[in-house]
Amino acid sequence: MVEPVSNWPRRSAIETGALGRCPRCGDGHIFRGFLTVRDHCEVCGLDYSFADPADGPAVFVQLFACVPGVIFIVMLEIMARPPLWVHIAVGIPVLILTTILPLRPIKGWLVAAQYVTKAQEAGTADLWAKLHKDREDKRAE
């Protein structure tokens, strides 16, 4: 049986999410593959149906994470004027590293932040009430 929410210590969304850990117990995993969110935590049983980061990770990567890579490539051209094959050999790996690698920690952070802050879309109040029912019951007692 899953313990009530109130028995779980409050965890940082950045700490658990960036590492791909369950935002409730900190031991389970959020991801089944590289970016596929599991149905539930294998340790505490937290249902991840609330998790919907949508395009958030891609937006953060495009706006922030890949900027250093693009600046590097532009500065390489300005300072060294290398041949095209150098841009291909250096630029493509730099862009891949600055766009692909940050996706998983950012997506994990967004999923964990949704849990910690109880973020919800219109019409999902029943789901959140179910997820946090035990905590509310303890307060009422």
Tell me if 39 is assigned to some domain: yes
Tell me if 135 is assigned to some domain: no
* Per-residue pLDDT, 3: 41
Average pLDDT over residues 14-18: 93
Question: What angle in degrees, to the nearest 10, is found between the helix axes of 67-80 and 92-99?
Answer: 160
Contacts of 134 (CB under 8 A, 6+ apart): 4, 5, 6
* Per-residue pLDDT, 100: 92
2 confidence band (pLDDT: 50, 70, 90): very low
Give the C-alpha separation, 131 to 118, whole Å.
9
Tell me if 115 is assigned to some domain: yes
Domain of 92?
5-119
How many structural domains are present in the chain?
Answer: 1
Give the C-alpha separation, 19 to 30, whole Å.
9
For residue range 30-88, list pLDDT tens digits in order.
999 999 999 999 999 999 988 889 899 999 998 887 888 889 999 999 999 999 999 99
Tell me if 130 is assigned to some domain: no
Tell me if 127 is assigned to some domain: no
φ, ψ at 42 (rounded to 5°): -75, -10
